[in-house]
A and B are shown apart, each in its own frame.
Chain A
Amino acid sequence: MTRNPRSDQDAQDPDLLAAEYALGTLRGDARAAFERDLTGNPALRASVARWQERLSGLLTGVEPVTPPTELWTRILQTVDEAETVTPPPTRKLSRAARLWNAVALWRGLSLTAVAAACALAVMITRPVGTPDPSVTSTQQPRGRTVIAVLQDGGRAVFAVQVAGSDRGPASITPVGGESAPAGRSYELWAIEGAAAPVSLGVVGTGVTRLPLEHLPPNLLRPGVLLAISLEPMGGSPTGAPTGPVLFTGTLVEAL
């Protein structure tokens, strides 16, 4: 194809990037990078919303399909299951939580993460040395092992396991060969529903173990979102995330 200045200009236009995102043609790394930009960029979120509104007019030719009655039952069941561990959503959100949850919102990552977590569950169970997950899960109903795979646009980067008990420690196993740039640190956060992110600590190189005794009981349980942000060396100076969210994943119960 021939390149012309207009095409190059279009390719750089953030609003057209938002259009491609809303259209669904932004994939893989490009989509992940765009979603990272979205979290801290209200103007870009507005662009995406505007394009979603515009493009929704393309659906007028799609024939509706009547869902089977059990579909609603399944939705209700899933919502009910979630609510036994998570309080209902509320509109009172800290600014940080709002931005952060936007990641989950745009990507729909929790369900993707479940599948990835399943695939990696066996792999990470050994290195972190849980004596026997099947025993802990059947005999200690309140202290089940939970795991999460933190991803960057579908690429698994860190596996997190909270073994046996939610009192920790949490093991963070790098699976993607990713490490923080020089002079910066990765910090791990737990985001429970609408609450402000809670720091779990700074992620070192190699397998990191983070003590969790200081955390509120029952914080790390299925459905809670984990996220890693890029922070100044040694972690966020404010106690709240200050840098971009790089990797996210939702905790699920291990097999």
Chain B
Amino acid sequence: MVRGGPRVREWVTAVASTEFDTPEGAGRASLSADPATDDAGRLILRCAAGERAALHTLYTAMAPMLLGLAARMLGDRRLGEEAVQDCFVQVWRNAAQFDPALGGGRSWMIGILRFRAIDLRESERRRAPINPMEMEAADQAGALGATPPPPMDDRMALRHCLGQLKDAARHSIMMAYVEGCSHAEIAERLDQPLGTVKSWILRGLASLRECLER
């Protein structure tokens, strides 16, 4: 493989090392997701101007959250790290395409990470093990303080609107978003017909929109 050799060696080295050091400042830094003070967005614009320090600041603030998500979606920490690495490289390369008028920098980066993780997931054909306890925890949107969270108002609204959904729709949407599951995987896990799951998700999203725009 063109890039496989060195990368595989890195993996082997990384697997051999059991120690995971904290990068400078990680865990302490947090970026506001408020559109009025879109710190992540501003840093992405600085990346677009070729400023490496801005990428590092983004990394320090966002990498732990992105790695948590990627590892969850891929069910594998090494693969999660690969997704995060690819994500930051893409953020750097595509920073000029970030449009602050469309949305915040944080959700833009999460989008990039999730597509990368979904692609890796499909190519690896690995399944993140489903953990009902975790699903419950994830269900209580806003209960845990992950960095960096969206504005409180938005979180409250989302939590409220998620709560209005039927359990089946909420679980399906959470599985798709947090675990990166496809329709077929959700159908398999919940032991339901594919069409039913598709319908739950579509109607769930429609209800969520209706509720959030109210």
Residues of the A chain whose Cβ atoms lie less than 8 Å from the Cβ of B134: 61
Check A11 for interface membership: any CB of B closer than 8 A.
yes
User: What's the dominant secondary structure at chain B's contact region?
Assistant: helix
Interface mask (B88-110 → A, CB under 8 Å = 1, otherwise 0) = 11101111110100111011101
Interface mask (B28-68 → A, CB under 8 Å = 1, otherwise 0) = 00000100000000000101111010011001000111011
Q: Which of A55, A107, A121 has the most CB of B within 10 A?
A: A55
List residues 103-158 of chain B with CB under 8 A from any CB of chain A: 103-104, 106-108, 110-112, 114-116, 118-119, 122-123, 134, 137-147, 149-150, 154-155, 158
Question: A75 with B68: in contact, given A23-B176, A52-B103, A61-B137 (CB under 8 Å)?
Answer: no
Check A210 for interface membership: any CB of B closer than 8 A.
no
Q: Is the CB of A90 within 8 A of B49?
A: yes
Q: Is the CB of A93 within 8 A of B103?
A: no
Compute how far the CA of A102 lies from the CA of B201 in the bound complex, rounded to whole angstroms.
26
Q: Is the CB of A93 within 8 A of B112?
A: no
- Distance of B19 from chain A, by nearest CB (Å): 8
Q: Is the CB of B23 within 8 A of A69?
A: yes
Interface size on B, residues (CB 8 A): 102
- Distance of B9 from chain A, by nearest CB (Å): 12
Residues of the A chain whose Cβ atoms lie less than 8 Å from the Cβ of B114: 24
Question: A59 with B205: in contact, given A64-B68, A108-B116 (CB under 8 Å)?
Answer: no
Check A20 for interface membership: any CB of B closer than 8 A.
yes
Q: Is the CB of B107 within 8 A of A62?
A: no
**Other-chain contact of A78, B1, B20, B22, B89 (Cβ < 8 Å):** B89
Question: A74 with B107: in contact, given A16-B206, A89-B93 (CB under 8 Å)?
Answer: no
Q: Is the CB of A56 within 8 A of B96?
A: no
List residues 36-72 of chain A with CB under 8 A from any CB of chain B: 45-46, 48-50, 52-72
Question: A108 with B119: in contact, given A15-B209, A60-B143, A71-B63 (CB under 8 Å)?
Answer: yes
Question: A57 with B205: in contact, given A7-B199, A91-B49, A114-B2 (CB under 8 Å)?
Answer: no
Check B190 for interface membership: any CB of A closer than 8 A.
no
Residues of the A chain whose Cβ atoms lie less than 8 Å from the Cβ of B1: 115, 118
List residues 220-255 of chain A with CB under 8 A from any CB of chain B: 252-255
Residues of the A chain whose Cβ atoms lie less than 8 Å from the Cβ of B22: 66, 69
Q: Is the CB of A72 within 8 A of B95?
A: no
Check A199 for interface membership: any CB of B closer than 8 A.
no
Q: Which of A7, A61, A114 has the most CB of B within 10 A?
A: A61
- Distance of B132 from chain A, by nearest CB (Å): 13
Check B173 for interface membership: any CB of A closer than 8 A.
yes
Q: Is the CB of A108 within 8 A of B158?
A: no
- Distance of B126 from chain A, by nearest CB (Å): 15
Compute how far the CA of A114 lies from the CA of B68 in the bound complex, rounded to whole angstroms.
25
Q: Is the CB of A52 within 8 A of B110?
A: yes
**Other-chain contact of A91, B21, B96, B144 (Cβ < 8 Å):** B96
Compute how far the CA of A27 lies from the CA of B118 in the bound complex, rounded to whole angstroms.
9
Residues of B within 8 A of A (CB): 1-4, 10, 14, 17, 20-23, 26-27, 33, 45, 47-50, 52, 55-56, 59, 63-65, 67-69, 71-72, 77, 80-81, 84-86, 88-90, 92-97, 99, 102-104, 106-108, 110-112, 114-116, 118-119, 122-123, 134, 137-147, 149-150, 154-155, 158-159, 162, 173-174, 176-178, 180, 182-183, 193, 195-196, 199, 201-203, 205-206, 208-209, 212
